[in-house]
Structures are given as C-alpha cells and as structure tokens.
Structure 1
Amino acid sequence: MNPPDQRAMRASRLKLLLIMLVFAAPIIAAGVLTAVGWQPGGKANGLPITPQRNFANEQLQVILADGKPWAWRASEPQLTLVAVAGPGCASHCVDTLTKIAAARITLNRNATRLRLLYVGVPPADAATNGMANYWQVGQDSKDALAAFRPSEPDSVSALLVESDGTALSLYPAGFDPSGLRKDLQKVIR
C-alpha cells in the first residue's frame, strides 16, 4: 500500500472546510446581525402592538348583534380586521369602512381569509349602506378595546388580529386605507 499523497489530503480537507463555511456563513451572519440589534426594514403601514396582546387568552368579549360572542380563535386560518369606531360614526367613518371592505375584496380568492368585525355603535344608515354585507357588528361589553378607540368624532381605527387571537397591528384614526390594503396583501397569500 502506498501512503496517501499529502498534497491531495490537504486539498480534500480544504474543500471540506470551504463547503462547511458556505453553509455556516449565513448562520454566523444572522447571529451577528441579531447580536447588534439589526432588524429587516420591511415597511408596514400599521403600528406594532406592544406589549403584544392575545384577545382570546384575555377572554375579551365582543357580543355580536345576534347575541353570540365573537370567536377570536378562527376555526380555519383567518385574520380578523377589527374596526373600532370613535363617537358618532358618520360619513367619514363609513367612507373608511367602505374602503376597508374594498381592500378585502381586492384579496380576490383569499378574501375569505379575512374576517371583518366592526365594534361600536353602528352608523345611523348601516342597514341601508350595505355594511351588513361585509361586516359583523358587535359591542365590546367590558370596554376592553377602549385603548384602541379614537376620541375624535366620526373616526375609526383598525386592529389586525391573527387567527389565534393575537393582535398584530394598529391602524390609528386617520390611517390610509390603501396602506392597509398593501399590508393585507403581504400577510394574506
């Protein structure tokens, strides 16, 4: 038997180390970026809810118009967009609600993956403006959503809630519905 060629042995080891480095480099880079606090700069239009809340775990109760409680945990993977109305929801508020419903429609075949819940006193003309076609209407029985309710009259804010009941984003009163639409198209695929 001939002894192995030292040069060929070193070349094989170097190739093995290079292959290991190719696979380890992204992991090392991610660790370094996490250690220095860098986060990807994806631009969302909603504000993150901190500290994070889970409405299902908090047993936040919204009673629907038919007297049944809203189920925060969806039976299938569905996000919930909760519109929280300020005092006196009128034309501006209804316009925003209409744009939100239109944003849901633009999801096309994925529109069923987004539930729309309106919390508050419905607008005076809710029965005639078609609101019931898109929105479930309910009341926050213990005022647990008061922190998200706008104080300005004729305004509405929105909350995006995961199918397990975790509140993800807040869209405060005066938000841009087209920005909300863009965010929905990113998260619902």
Structure 2
Amino acid sequence: MTPPTDRALRASRLKFLLVVFVFTAPIIAAALLNLSGWQPVGKGYGEPIVPQRNFEQEHVRVRIADGRMWLWRDSSPRLTLIALVGPNCAAHCVDVLTKMAAARITLNNNMSRVRLLYLGQPPADAATNGMENFWQLGTDVDGQLATYRPTTPDTVSALLVESDGTALTLYPAGFDPSGLRKDLQKVVR
C-alpha cells in the first residue's frame, strides 16, 4: 500500500471540513439568531396568552356537573379546550360548540389527548342535542376566567390549556373554528 500524497491528504481533509461545516452551519446560524432575540413565528389562528398564566398554580377552581373539581393536571398529558360562552347561548353558540367538538374528533386516534370543558350556563336544549356526550359541563367557581368570557349574547370564546395548566392560546368571540381545528392538528401529534 502506498502512502497518500500531500495533495490527496489535503483533499481528504478539505472534504472532511466541508462535511463538518455542512452539519454545523445551521446550528451556528440558529444560535446566532436566538442570541440576537429573533424567534420564529408560526401561523396560529388564536392569540397567545400574554403574560402567560398557569391555572394550576393560580388555583383556578372549576366545578364540573357531578360536583367534583376539575383537575388541570390529568393522569395522562392532555390538553384542555375550554369553551366560555356569552349570555344566552343559542343557535350560533351551539353551532360553534359543535364545530369545536368536531375539531377534536378530526384528531382521530389522538382525540383522547384533548379534553373539552364547557364553562357557563348550558343551552336550554343541551340534553337533547347531545352536548353532554362531548363536553364536561362546569362552572368557574371564583370567576377567575371571566376576563376571557365574551359579553355579546350567543357567542363563544375558547382557551387552549396545556396539560400542566398553562394557558396557551385564546380564541376570542367570533373566531374561526376551522382555524382552531388546524391549530389542534399542529399541537396534538
């Protein structure tokens, strides 16, 4: 076997350095962007909750229909989608609630990773339209979520809450339920 020439050795080292550069350049670029304060922004349909709140740490108490208290930290990691209704939840409100429940169903095998919590006075026909099959009905005991509740009649706002109780996103009254569905599909994989 003949020893490599200086030219072949330099070419080999250059190829090695090129491979190292190809793999380290994106990491270095990401670190520089992060240090400069730049953060990527994705196309989300809701509004981020700023400042961030953690309902578990704030002891936000929600009593569900059977008398038990809602556990923000569930036995398995699951998001909570909270529907907060304005006064007199009627046809439009029920339509939005139905689309929100359908957004959960479109997650297929992952739909068990999202819990649906309805806070407020249920619509008059809640028992007949099957709402209780999809939603846990509850009340905000101390009114700590009142700032997110719409004041316009027959409207719904929604909150997406992480499995540790951290409120992630607000969908104010008039939001597009198909946008909520797209956000859920991005978050729940």
- Specify if TM > 0.5: yes
Alignment of 1:34-113 (within 5 A): 34-113=34-113
Output the CA distance in 2 between the equivalents of 1:180 and 1:4. Answer: 62
Deviates more, 1:22-31 or 1:170-179: 22-31
Aligned letter for 2:124?
A
Aligned letter for 2:106?
T
Which residue of structure 2 lines up, in the alignment, with residue 26 of structure 1? 26
Cα deviations by residue, 1:72-108 (Å, 9 ceiling, x for unpaired): 1111121110001112212211111011111111112
Deviates more, 1:79-88 or 1:20-29: 20-29
Aligned letter for 1:68?
R
Output the CA distance in 2 between the equivalents of 1:53 and 1:105. Answer: 27
Output the CA distance in 1 between the equivalents of 2:16 and 2:143. Answer: 63
Aligned letter for 2:131?
M
Say what the alpha-carbon RMSD is for the aligned residues: 1.9
Q: Aligned-pair distance for 1:9?
A: 4.9
**What are the ranges of 5 or more consecutive residues in structure 2 without an aligned counterpart?**
none
SS at match of 2:168: strand
Q: Aligned-pair distance for 1:22?
A: 2.1
Between Structure 1 and Structure 2, how many residues are aligned? 188
Percent sequence identity over matched residues?
68
Output the CA distance in 1 between the equivalents of 2:16 and 2:73. Answer: 49
Q: Aligned-pair distance for 1:17?
A: 2.8
Aligned letter for 2:49?
I
Output the CA distance in 2 between the equivalents of 1:127 and 1:15. Answer: 70
SS at match of 2:17: helix
Output the CA distance in 1 between the equivalents of 2:125 and 2:143. Answer: 24
**What are the ranges of 5 or more consecutive residues in structure 1 without an aligned counterpart?**
none
TM-score (norm 1): 0.91
Which residue of structure 2 lines up, in the alignment, with residue 116 of structure 1? 116
Which residue of structure 2 lines up, in the alignment, with residue 169 of structure 1? 169
Deviates more, 1:155-164 or 1:83-92: 83-92
TM-score (norm 2): 0.91
SS at match of 2:142: coil
Output the CA distance in 1 between the equivalents of 2:23 and 2:186. Answer: 29
Aligned letter for 2:133?
N
Output the CA distance in 2 between the equivalents of 1:61 and 1:48. Answer: 22
Aligned letter for 1:110?
N
Output the CA distance in 1 between the equivalents of 2:42 and 2:184. Answer: 14
Aligned letter for 1:176?
D
Output the CA distance in 2 between the equivalents of 1:169 and 1:89. Answer: 22
Q: Aligned-pair distance for 1:21?
A: 1.7
Cα deviations by residue, 1:125-181 (Å, 9 ceiling, x for unpaired): 111111101000000000000111111111110001111111111100000011111
SS at match of 1:50: coil
SS at match of 1:75: coil
Output the CA distance in 1 between the equivalents of 2:157 and 2:140. Answer: 14
Output the CA distance in 2 between the equivalents of 1:167 and 1:114. Answer: 14
